[in-house]
Structure formats: C-alpha cells, structure tokens
C-alpha cells in the first residue's frame, strides 16, 4: 500500500498559483528547495511539485544544475503525491496524465446543446452589416442576434447552429449549418443577451458554369433587421481559450476564420473591464490571411488593439493578392509561418503556448507542410510535436 501526502498549496490562493505540476527529474545533485516544498536528489528519478507560476524558473534552475526533466505531469490542487516523493518513478501518482496547460478551461462548465434542432431558440436579428470594404472580394457580414427571453449562453471559441427556413432539394426541411461565434460570452452589447457571427456568402460556379449561392449563408447575409432566426447549440470544445492570463496564443486565420479570434481578442483586450477574473498579460499573435486589404475583417478594431497593447498583441497580415514573398510568391498564412519559424518554434515549445487554426479547409494542408518543413530544418519532427501538443490540448484546429 502506498502512502500519500498532499503537497501544500502556495501563498497566493488564485487558481493559477494553485495549479502544480510534478516534474520527474534525473541527473541532478541534492539541492535545497528555494522556498518551495520540495528538494531533489542525485540518483534515479526525483519528483518535484512545482506551482504553475514558477515552472519556467524551475526549468531553468534544473537546467543550470545539470539535471534533465524527463516527464511533467499536471496535478490537481489536492492530488496526492508519494510520501517519499524523492524516490523512483514506481512511487509516482497513479495514472499520471500527459502534461497539459489548457485543461484549466475545464474548471469552467462548457455549455453545450442548450437548444437542439427539434426545439431551436428563436432569436431576432439586431445587426447585419458588411465587413468587406469597397473593392474587396465577396461578401462577409457581421450579424448580431438577440437572445433575450432564452437561456442560450456560450464561451469564446464555440459555435452555434443556424437552421435556414425552407426545404432542401429533396423536399426535406433545411438542415442546420454551424457558424463560429464571433462575440465574447458578454455579447457585442455587453449584456450577455446577444450572439454575433461573421458569415461569408458562399458563391461558386458549378460545372455548367452557373452561379450557385449557398443556402444558409445567403439567407443570413440578406437577413433583415428584426427578422426571426432559429438558433441551436452552442457546440464545440476544440477552440476554447485557456484561462491562463500569461499564455501565448498563436492564431492562424483565413477569412471568416477570424470569428473565434475576434471573440478571443475582444475578451483579452477590448472587454477587459467586463472580465476582472481574466486580465490577459501574455502574448496574442494573430496571423490573418486575406486576399486584399479591403478584406481585412474588423481591421480598425484589430489595429487599434495592436497599437494599444504592443507588448501583448501582435498583428501580422498575409495579404495574398498584394504582398509577395522574397522569391516573388504570394503571401499566405503559411508564408508567414515560414518567415517567423524560428520565433514560432521557440514559442510552441513553451508549455503555455497554444496554437489555433481556423478558416477554410484548404488552409490546413499547406500550413501543416510548412510546419513539417520548418521542424525538419531544426531537427524536429512536426508530426510528433503536433501529436504531443494535441494531447496537451495546445493544438486547436477548426476548419470547414
């Protein structure tokens, strides 16, 4: 029977301060702890409980002492650790999970499927305006719906379903389409009673050369103010924003893929006063791919935030039809990934860095290829890195 003891919590009782990780360390001489509740020894594995806030410092210290961290496992606030936490790995906490910094969002209840397709919430359209400036390509609209009278609430990074009226070509009622929520949980009117979307009207030519317009996106883009709208959801846990205020959040967006990142950035910067419990002080880096300057959605707001928070928000455009790479190619999001690869690879090795990708399906393969090539140049294996990041809930993809 193993004996367990509980490591003390630390001075500051905030959630971040309370989160601890168990470092398994080898090859280090006996050292007294700083004023933490641990010490380490010189043979076999040693186990050190480290509060989140001191992780970087502790990694550096172990490095300096010539030690090597072979495993990092997250611990719950009351997770027991072995009584002799300086003995070998057979004594470690049973069923350790892989290291994850993102799990903290799990302490918040994620609402899902409050309204289902057979009983959707019927809201009203409060706003529907064009986001593409004169001379840009296509139609993208910002829509806001009134949710009052219902119970629909959501978190940044989730999606809602919209059921367009009418029937499909088989005479069946139209099915719902999903849209990423572009507003924070407070909604654009800051009263918690609205939800906003960023919708591109789908338009393409079929094989016969006829122009076809998407059913739901066309319906939304031409929705009148005050019109009823059938909403389901919310859904989605893939794109949630971690609660850590000092995280690094890398966002790769194309077109309407900006929607969840608008919600993130509004929460981090624009609506700071609404979130006393979330005062972002990490780094948010948005790489935004669009064809023309006129297609930069929410341009004014993005640039204002970048100017106001130069240390915390970095805004990089990839304007494919206007900018060119050193070798004369078009600039896409992946070109920027390649351009900033050194910095990006450094960042993604930090345990509190999250990468998000959102937009059209086509963006994923070239971005993955770029990461693969850049990792190879650095003697790393992107596939393994990505898998590990995914396990750690630090790699988030939503493409459609």
> Between vectors from CA 281 to CA 363 and to CA 257, what angle results, nearest 5°?
20
Pairing of strands 194-200, 395-399: unpaired
The string of DSSP codes covering 338-382 is: HHTHHHHHHHHTSTTEEEEEEE-GGGHHHHHHHHHHHHHHTT--H
Q: Which of 46, 180, 183, 320 is catalytic?
A: 180
Q: Is 52 tagged catalytic?
A: no
202 makes contact with ligand FAD (CB under 6 A): yes
Q: Which is nearer to ligand FAD, 101 or 256 (CB)?
A: 256
Q: Which is nearer to ligand FAD, 344 or 358 (CB)?
A: 358
Query: With CB under 6 A, what is the number of residues at the site for ligand FAD?
Result: 19
The string of DSSP codes covering 35-83 is: SSS--B-SSSEEEEEEEGGGHHHHHHHHHHTT-EEEEEEEE-TT-EEET
Helices (H) and strands (E) in the chain, counts: 9, 18
131 makes contact with ligand FAD (CB under 6 A): no
**Cα distance between residue 74 and residue 15, in whole Å:** 14
Q: Which is nearer to ligand FAD, 139 or 248 (CB)?
A: 139
Beta partners for residue 235, in sequence order: 159
159 makes contact with ligand FAD (CB under 6 A): yes
Q: Which is nearer to ligand FAD, 218 or 325 (CB)?
A: 218
**Site for ligand FAD (CB under 6 A): which residue of 114, 125, 178, 283?**
178
Residue number with the smallest Cβ distance to ligand FAD = 214
> Between vectors from CA 59 to CA 88 and to CA 386, what angle results, nearest 5°?
90
Q: Is 45 tagged catalytic?
A: no
Helix (H) or strand (E) holding 22: strand 20-26
CB of 228 to ligand FAD, least distance (A): 18
**Site for ligand FAD (CB under 6 A): which residue of 45, 100, 180, 353?**
180
Q: Is 43 tagged catalytic?
A: no
Pairing of strands 140-146, 159-163: unpaired
- Strand, coil or helix: 4: strand
194 makes contact with ligand FAD (CB under 6 A): no
Q: Is 358 tagged catalytic?
A: yes
Q: Which is nearer to ligand FAD, 50 or 160 (CB)?
A: 160
**Site for ligand FAD (CB under 6 A): which residue of 259, 265, 290, 389?**
259
Q: Which is nearer to ligand FAD, 22 or 131 (CB)?
A: 131
CA nearest to 254, candidates 313, 212, 316: 316
The two three-digit tokens of residue 272, written as one number: 């700071």
**Cα distance between residue 180 and residue 397, in whole Å:** 12
Q: Is 398 tagged catalytic?
A: yes
Q: Which of 115, 154, 179, 298 is catalytic?
A: 179
Question: Judged by CB under 6 A, which stretch of 26-34, 113-121, 197-205, 222-230 contacts ligand FAD?
Answer: 197-205
Orientation angle between helical segments 382-391 and 364-377, nearest 10 degrees: 110
CB of 278 to ligand FAD, least distance (A): 23
CB of 99 to ligand FAD, least distance (A): 27
CB of 119 to ligand FAD, least distance (A): 20
**Cα distance between residue 318 and residue 196, in whole Å:** 25
Q: What is the dihedral of CA 257, 261, 263, 264, to 10 degrees?
A: 160
Q: Which is nearer to ligand FAD, 92 or 286 (CB)?
A: 286
Buried b (16+ CB within 10 A) or exposed e, 382-397: beebbeebeebbbbbb
179 makes contact with ligand FAD (CB under 6 A): yes
- What residues from 205 to 244 belong to the interface with ligand FAD (CB under 6 A)? 214-218
398 makes contact with ligand FAD (CB under 6 A): yes
188 makes contact with ligand FAD (CB under 6 A): no
Q: Which of 198, 216, 221, 358 is catalytic?
A: 358
Applying CB under 6 A, the residues found at the interface with ligand FAD are: 159, 177-180, 198-200, 202, 204, 214-218, 256, 259, 398, 400
Residues known to be catalytic:
179-180, 358, 398, 400
């Amino acid at each position: 029977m193993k004996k367990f003891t509980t490591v003390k919590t630390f001075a500051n009782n905030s959630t971040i301060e309370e989160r601890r990780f168990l470092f398994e360390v080898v090859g280090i001489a006996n050292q007294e702890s700083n004023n933490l509740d641990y010490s380490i020894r010189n043979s076999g594995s040693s186990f050190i409980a480290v509060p989140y806030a001191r992780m970087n410092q502790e990694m550096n210290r172990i490095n300096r002492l010539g030690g090597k961290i072979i495993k990092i496992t997250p611990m719950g606030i009351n997770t027991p650790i072995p009584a002799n936490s300086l003995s070998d790995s057979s004594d470690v906490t049973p069923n350790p999970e892989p290291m994850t910094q993102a799990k903290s969002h799990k302490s918040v209840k994620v609402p899902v499927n409050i309204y289902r397709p057979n009983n959707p919430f019927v809201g009203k359209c409060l706003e529907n305006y064009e986001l593409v400036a004169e001379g840009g390509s296509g139609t993208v609209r910002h829509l806001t719906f009134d949710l009052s009278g219902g119970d629909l609430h959501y978190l940044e990074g989730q999606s809602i379903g919209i059921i367009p009226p009418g029937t499909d070509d088989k005479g069946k009622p139209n099915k719902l389409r999903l849209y990423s929520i572009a507003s924070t949980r407070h909604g654009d009117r800051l009263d918690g009673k609205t939800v906003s979307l960023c919708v591109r009207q789908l338009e393409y030519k079929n094989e016969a050369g006829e122009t076809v317009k998407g059913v739901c996106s066309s319906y939304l883009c031409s929705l009148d103010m005050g019109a009823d709208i059938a909403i389901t959801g919310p859904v989605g846990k893939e794109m949630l924003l971690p609660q850590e205020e000092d995280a690094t959040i890398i966002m790769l967006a194309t077109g309407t893929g900006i929607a969840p990142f608008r919600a993130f950035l509004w929460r981090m910067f624009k609506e700071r006063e609404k979130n006393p419990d979330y005062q972002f002080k990490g780094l948010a880096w948005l790489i935004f791919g669009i064809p023309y300057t006129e297609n930069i959605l929410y341009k004014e707001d993005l640039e204002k935030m970048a100017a106001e928070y130069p240390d915390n928000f970095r805004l990089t455009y990839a304007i494919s039809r206007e900018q060119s790479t050193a070798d004369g190619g078009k600039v896409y999001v992946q070109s920027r990934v390649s351009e900033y690869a050194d910095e990006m690879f450094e960042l993604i090795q930090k345990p509190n860095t999250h990468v998000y990708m959102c937009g059209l399906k086509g963006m994923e393969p070239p971005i993955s290829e770029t990461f693969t090539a850049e990792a190879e140049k650095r003697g790393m294996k992107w596939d393994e890195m990505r898998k590990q990041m995914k396990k750690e809930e630090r790699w988030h993809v939503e493409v459609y």
